[in-house]
Amino acid sequence: MPQGKIKPLSVRYGLGISDHDSEGRLLTAEFESFYLLSGYVPNSGDGLKRLELEKSKPVILTGDLNCAHQEIDIHDPAGNRRSAGFTDEERQSLEKNFLSKGLWIALENNTLVLLAILTGWRLDYFLVSESIADKVHDSYILPDIGGSDHCPIGLVLKL
């Protein structure tokens, strides 16, 4: 669990649906004024149904979405057009299931985009409800934390 200045009211692991829990990982932390979701989404369009999000509070979804959203988010987009994680179908699915449902990519940060262009793929995101998109103050990478092929990301909100 990320260490911060505020503590969650509750934390839940998984979806409670065995078929989905075996495919990916999800952590839901409830705070006083928002939900924070962190997840791993299987790539290549496994057909998982869209989660029905609570409408009582804004949502922050973070994690490895296994999809480079735009060409600027990937090294060599032309050469990877048919690669899992950058297919037209996956990119359209990200748009349809998240971005067209009122979730916004939190702050398109030039540092994150530059990292993807120079070295690989941008697959990790913070998506926030439209109602708090204007509260996003910063997003950043934590390049000194190793242990994975991903670079951890951070988000600062002014709630």
Question: Could you read off the pLDDT of 7-62 as tens digits, one per residue?
Answer: 899 988 876 767 666 655 788 889 999 888 887 766 544 343 334 444 568 888 88
What CATH number is associated with residue 59? 3.60.10.10
Given the DSSP bridges, would you call strands 59-64 and 35-40 parallel, antiparallel or unpaired?
parallel
* Residues belonging to the active site: 40, 64, 150
SS3 (DSSP) at 116:
helix
Q: Is 66 annotated as a binding residue?
A: yes
69 is in an annotated binding site: no
Write down the mean pLDDT value for the chain: 78
Percent share of the chain, pLDDT over 90: 19
Q: How far is CA 10 from CA 32, 39, 70, in A?
A: 10, 16, 34
Long-range CB pairs of 144-151, under 8 A, 24+ apart, other chains included: 149/120, 150/64, 150/123, 150/124, 151/115, 151/124
pLDDT tens, residue by residue, 109-146 = 555 555 555 567 888 889 999 889 999 988 887 777 77
**142: containing domain:** 10-157
- Is residue 103 in some structural domain? yes
Is 150 known to sit in a ligand binding site? yes
Residue 3: inside a domain: no
